[in-house]
Structure 1
């Protein structure tokens, strides 16, 4: 197998492109129970559309001017259009929101302000002694990292300074690909061999600390840091993010339909093609080109029909390819079988929790079994069981 396909460096691909305003946005919601807009409401950039009761999950805002056409538990749909002018005698309609002065805020006030501006606080404030900024491209084919460190360095620096204000870490390290010339004042640098799966958080931490443990370490990826920096620089709500679309890095409104992004990049989807949201190794296929990108959507890829054999339900024939390539040194072949037949206790015995979900087992499997999907399903079932046990224990205590 040609290992060059796993190279994570692509050089400076230029400044990010600013995408066109899509015909609509479908802003994804994840437990945002309180909707701030109703159907037919007029909205403008930065306007709150839904907030979350959890103080650590960011609220959602419109990135375009338009009219709300649909409000559900899963999304708010906004059709892009110019708003009708105010009637005679009425005050002019607002066209945006005022920035929030973040510089003078600290502690709970700062966290609340960032949450209100759309920032997910939870991954930024975890207890840790060591804070690692993972500045590598996360997967093969994703190309934004090097360009972000050149053309959006001020935004990255703003995000890093804000993150240091939020994190309890006593030491910060930026993980960069080998031979990178990027520099960060007052912050340690660690160089990582830029070949997948070395970009995954667990392997980055192992390279820096020499330990196969995440205890006392928090990792924040460059994409998240960029989003935080955009808010820190402007004091405005998070309404846009950068998405790598087949190598083109496009800044687009959150909620932009996948199909609109592909059209922006002049990519057509033919019958039988697979559209992947996320990277080619760990991403998830979608059959809905109207699905809106989320604030953490890093990439969109199209895999043409016939490039890879389709995933199948063939039985494992114990070739050992997945075991040979597993960086966690577990047995994906056995774990996938146990999940397939709902033998969840055996999954625990085989240390399913040690899987870092790199996707190499699926990539190398000659039977084309959906190995990663099996493992994710197994983890999900274990989480459900543990939640049920915890709920029962709580009832007993009461």
Structure 2
């Protein structure tokens, strides 16, 4: 991999793909962490005498111009963070954009309008994407990918631009993701623990299959644990589960035992008759018939903390319960706190997991918080992400 600090960028025009898909309330950005995450690469580029063209997407305009999804608020916020004006182009391609790009001087920056205003950006095949990527690449001398959040998507700005660009490299944000997920996890310090939660086994099957045999311990919580309880012949009341995956869960339990990976499942739960308030705590063998299991219980928390405390590398994706309701957030918060106190390497990824960490205000207590959701999951599944494939083939 070729990183931006290994490339001569002085006097060059850079086309930098970032992930600025931030939440908006009207024109107000409610969380600007993704914008802040790209600032180091942008500042470095400008300070080294490059002209910078930023490209990003926002929301799901489905190939049409949607005024509410203009990048204008994002350009304004980026300008505040950089302490300079960030002009927004009227489009991504076309004569007017080309003129703005050609007039850009070293140390100056501009932003292209929402990439997804063009249907070609998300075309499923090279034919669907057409020459959109080629037109984007023509705006600059060097293509820089710094958008891990879309690294798993075969979008024109991710996979086609590298093939058409004169030169390619990776920004600091993507470099860190690659170093931690792509390199460090090949040879982690042991004991190596994976923690997986959330609602569905189906969405984590790839991770379970890939990591069993590679990790020493695997903690499973959240509603996905219910399917494993069914696989063990236990009752789960009226809880969320995936009955069609019970046989798959049995296979995973058998595979883990054969591979020497110790699976840790909940032994007690906080349950309710609805998702509003808890009705009590029950053990795995005495789940009430009408119970909804909505968080891990105190004995499980104790068990999980013991495993977390004794591990030297931990990767976490997915909450332990319905953490959005404070009544059912204790399990997720306890896991979060225990991880934050671990002196080993602690890695977090995924939108809900990131939300738990920020809710606990412990974001500065982890070794690494990935900026990817789907990209993080696919990385843990052992897949080669389209962005890295395209960059490798064109560096």
Smaller-chain TM-score bracket:
under 0.3
After TM superposition, the score normalised by the length of structure 2 is 0.24
